[in-house]
Amino acid sequence: MNKLLVVTGGTKGIGRAIADRFAQAGFDVATCARQEADLQAFQRDTQAARGVKAYAFRADMSKKEEIKSFAQAVLALNRPVDVLVNNAGYFVPGSVTDEPEGTLESMIDSNLYSAYYATRGLVAAMRQRGEGHIFNMCSIASIKAYPNGGSYAISKFALLGFSKVLREELKENGIRVTAILPGATKTASWAGTDLPDSRFMTARDVAETVFAAWSLSRHSVVEEILIRPQLGDI
């Protein structure tokens, strides 16, 4: 039986590139998103292009009950989860002092709690097997404050802290934990920018990095990976 990758928010951007890279290696893939049309396209295209099974579930990963339902749907497949990539999240620029009220709560819900509850929902089975790999999609914003970062940066700092805690809790269970900290990557978040593509990384570059970290033997773990555009941060 093929190994199983679970990637949240896997129908677009970095999440889609990660799903494609693991499917290319023969993994079956399970993902979630809010839009049914995106999920159907993901399932159809992945299965047709890669010849693997693709499972697609509708879920808003900013809502705790829907995160839990997604985890239960994955468990109901009765298959071991080999790799979990907590990728779901979003970015809205702003300043802590004048961004709309509720921005911090929204960012924490989407960028931190999504990873927290998805992990809690799936990690028990990993522990029972004594293996697995969890990736958390952090950001340059997890280690570097910058103008207009606002609550997004706060949420990503917290996600890196979550990754560090998880690493310590799970190391004795044979579960590897890796924090990915990408810089500016050309995805829909940068739609409308006047900057040339040369100022950005590609989503595929991030996906290849995740796959390379997973490919190490179970005796080694890359705890954090910082990836920047060759020309530096934007």
For the chain, domain boundaries: 4-227
Longest dimension (CA), the chain: 52
> How far from 105 is each of 32, 61, 75, 127, 218, CA to CA, in Å?
21, 13, 28, 31, 37
| CB 19 within 8 Å of CB 5 | yes
pLDDT value at residue 48: 96
Helix/strand/coil percentages in the chain, nearest 5: 50, 15, 35
Q: Which two tokens stand for residue 43?
A: 């399932």
pLDDT value at residue 68: 98
Residue with tokens 């929902």: 121
| CB 104 within 8 Å of CB 27 | no
pLDDT, averaged in runs of 10, over the chain (234 residues): 97 97 98 97 96 98 98 98 97 93 97 98 97 98 93 97 98 98 91 91 98 98 98 93
| CB 203 within 8 Å of CB 14 | yes
Q: Which class in CATH covers the domain with range 4-227?
A: alpha beta
